Structure 1
């Protein structure tokens, strides 16, 4: 049932498909409801604009957010599933967006229970900056980053995954606005250039996110007070960085919240810095490089991926690989002593293979990206019928080699027909493999920290 306090009027079942539930949140221009998709049997979030469109121009403006979100696809962005217009009142159509439902609190609500640890802040930053890098590369500035617009999705073997929501006031680079909470973001998180009404670039999101992350660590708003007091305070002072904050984390947040936009890191630079914190300082020391099989197998065990349950994070990568390359099979494989464990697989039913049946006839391991255009004609595989698994003719695999030199396995794609693969496609496959490896590294770091904390408690 629709919340009676809401100014939005909707039928109890929207367009015969979405049963409207409780209000999840309200903003200045919209209300977000939890709803049930009766066709697909899943929960969704429905964002409804508070005001019905009185003119075609107003409806067109509301459609702008849907078009923008429809072109974005990133794991740290709340996904747009569908959009529509409610014509219950034909003279005043009402735009609504069907969004991914994130089964977790927003950061504002989470901070009411206490601040995050440095490790949790670093993980959150790594997610959100990756999303900013993605949208900034497409010329989009969010302009309203704040704890309420950061949703926390549960994740396995790591802190909650951050997702950015609400692109309602996002613009393309170069726009200008007068400082106003309703048009350019919430006052406590405005960048100095937003306050002064200067042209905005991607640096404005970096500053706002820096304030959000600082608040996540301290549990306090960096610039409290009324709208004007809060907005103009940052023109004369930098936010206070606590003395007990780890030096690496403090250095990045100090850079992100520099008053001069030119002094701030890009999203890509900040992603790299936070990943180093997670894998290095907060994740413990890496083992010394070693090339022996026994050392490699120890790294495989340390990954904790063998004989494990299906995992949505890895499944997204193989699903994406299958779509990008238009192939029926995509696999993330981990190579044990005598078998190849298919941690994530698209288009293949088996969970593991003996090493002599590794896809591509390689036993599952190769030190460089391997492309076999036709397994029947290639001299490396033509004499090995086991390499042609279930009629597959094409194989390409990028190795999963850790920073300390251990080869865990590969991300591979296969096709039922011979085909070639250009340099750009090889680079894309290697990028996807890097995503899988990063997820593995981060999980290993998380386990080390968790074990360290348990050891201290004991």
Structure 2
């Protein structure tokens, strides 16, 4: 049975996209987590599964060769619909999964437990899951340990996202520290391609900035002498040359 679409699916997919993690190479920091999950729960398969629009993709995997499967057959697509850990003790007896090709053939899933990977904003982007080919019962300590590891996955994703943002910010700062050609008359700025841009266009091309235009007191007096300036308005003071 295909899982229902998650609530606020567009926002969930956008949150996943913002991590820029899909289809990246294997990383030891994530592989260490799936290894620990498999060892702690004594299962042959452990996955960090990210649920994309039409597929689930495995950032890290233990005991499984494939790197992704269709979302139609994904256990994790069911897990992200709830707030709590999803436990399927015997998929052969669960009407949601008993006809699933992942149950009826390789990897012959019987037991499944998936902890939703929840972003700080509450978007469920995937799971940390463990799988066995026989029915299982995990202890409360094992369940809690898996939930702690799932939180570590999200922390790793957040660390990467913040690092990417800092790198982009440093790149913008480096651009702004360079000598910038500016027209002496119209104050336009020449970009790297040799074209002239307004100050607003140049800054917006290097940072996510919006502008609110006004007129300073000096320009009001020069171009609009009939308009009285607002007394004591610091925003209208003339800029220094």
TM above 0.5: yes
- TM-score interval, smaller chain: 0.5 to 0.7
CA distance in 2, matches of 1:364, 1:371: 9
* Structure 2 residue aligned with 1:377: 93
Q: What's the counterpart of residue 322 of structure 1?
A: 38
1:361 deviates by 6.7
Residues 337-352 of structure 1 mapped to structure 2, 5 A cutoff: 337-352=53-68
Note the C-alpha offset of 1:406: 1.1
Q: Does 1:413 align with 2:130?
A: yes
Shift of 1:296: 1.2
After TM superposition, the structure 1 = structure 2 runs for residues 44-193 of structure 1, keeping only pairs within 5 Å, are none
The Cα shift of 1:369 comes to: 0.6
Which residue does the alignment assign to 1:435? 152
In structure 2, relative to structure 1, the CA distance for the partners of 1:349 and 1:364 (3 Å cut) is: farther
Structure 1 residue 365 corresponds to structure 2 residue 80: yes
Relative contact order (C-alpha < 8 Å, sep 6+): which is higher? 2
RMSD: 1.7
Instruction: State the Cα deviation string for residues 56-80 of structure 1 (Å, max 9, x = none).
Output: xxxxxxxxxxxxxxxxxxxxxxxxx
Instruction: Give the Cα separation in 2 of the matches to 1:310 and 1:386.
Output: 23
Partner of 1:457: 174
What TM-score do the two structures reach when normalised by structure 1?
Answer: 0.35
What is the deviation of 1:365?
2.7
Change (3 A) 1:423 1:351: same
Indicate which of 38, 43, 51 corresponds to 1:335: 51
Task: Give the 3-state SS of the residue equivalent to 1:334 in structure 2.
Answer: strand
**How far apart in 1 are the matches of 2:79 and 2:89?**
17
CA distance in 2, matches of 1:379, 1:299: 31
- Scaled by the length of structure 2, the TM-score of the pair is 0.65
Q: Are the counterparts in 2 of residues 361 and 381 from structure 1 also a CA contact under 8 Å? A: no
Over alpha carbons, which structure has the higher Rg?
2
Partner of 2:143 in structure 1? 426
Listed as ranges, the gaps of 5+ residues in structure 1 are 1-290
More deviation in 328-337 or 364-373?
A: 364-373
Partner of 2:189: none
- Alpha-carbon distance change, 361 to 387 in structure 1, aligned in 2, over 3 angstroms: farther
Distance 2:25 2:157 in 1: 15
Three-state SS of the structure 1 residue aligned to 2:107 is helix
Corresponding residue SS for 1:419: coil
- Residue 316 (structure 1) shift: 0.3
Distance in 2 (CA, whole Å) between partners of 1:361 and 1:301 is: 18
